[in-house]
Amino acid sequence: MTRATRTKAPGRAVPALTHQAEDYLKAIYEIERDGDAAGTTAIAARLGIASASVSGMVRRLARQGLVTVERYHGARLTPKGRRLALQLIRRHRILESYLVTRLGFGWDGVHAEAERLEHAASSKLIEAMAAALGHPSADPHGAPIPRADGTVEEARLRTVDDLAVGARARVARMSDRDPALLRYLGELGVRPGVTLRLVDRAPFEGPMTIAVGRARHVIGIGVARRVYVK
């Protein structure tokens, strides 16, 4: 049985949730952030579970006032659900930042570690880590860290695939979920803050050539669509 945890914001009581329920809130937030409908299939795909198990949890979250359920759309976070989801995401991204910056973890291996730790770490410990890091605004993968009050600025970003040939852009972020992709990007020198240029692209969604400093690399369109730039 999953142990229930309680996440608190200063001065605000929040419902006790299982680890699984917390993961659902984060997943629904991410789906909504990407502009998609948080239906049963989308939630199941995000969490890597069977669709049949989603409906019951969504109903439980609705009874707790954390989501509403709309026909043809699926689950939507309520303001309370959104605040809680952002608090959970803050925990995760501060943990990732601390593991990389202070404990020497590679940026490709911290997602799974942070997933395990975020359910157990107290709010006091998370805020102490944030203070020790100087209250960073982004995690090692460029994702914005929500503020302690449960707010965040999510900028609309393009991907490398959106660039015109010859265009330069600064890498803003990439997903932390695929260690192999992060290792590959690290080998190419593609990290948040790095400026790259799209040198060429083959027709019919063929490979692209990018320049990172003096080096040139050929990447597939699948990689180009997972690197976000400003």
Return the CATH number at 118: 1.10.10.10
Residue 93, Ramachandran bin (φ over 0: left; ψ between -120 and 50: alpha; else beta): alpha
Q: Which residue range is the domain that position 35 belongs to?
A: 1-154
Q: What is the CATH number of the domain that holds 193?
A: 2.30.30.90
Answer with the one of 132, 154, 176 that is the final residue of a domain: 154
Q: Are 21 and 116 found together in one domain?
A: yes
- Token representation of residue 160: 């490398």
Query: Is the alpha carbon torsion for 42, 223, 178, 104 positive or negative?
Result: negative
Q: Give the pLDDT of the chain (230 residues) as one tens digit per residue.
A: 344 444 444 434 445 789 999 999 999 999 999 888 899 999 999 999 999 889 999 999 999 999 999 887 899 999 999 999 999 999 999 999 999 999 999 999 999 999 999 988 999 999 999 999 999 999 999 999 999 988 898 888 999 999 999 999 999 999 888 999 999 999 999 999 999 999 999 999 999 999 999 999 999 999 999 999 99
The two structure tokens encoding residue 197: 């240029």
100 and 205 in a single domain? The answer is: no
> Which of 154, 173, 204 is the C-terminal boundary of a domain?
154
Entry pTM: 0.86
Q: For the chain, how many structural domains are there in total?
A: 2
- d(CA 95, CA 141) in angstroms, rounded, equals 12
Residues 51 and 70 placed together within one structural domain of the fold? yes
Rounded Cα distance, 221 and 115, in Å: 29
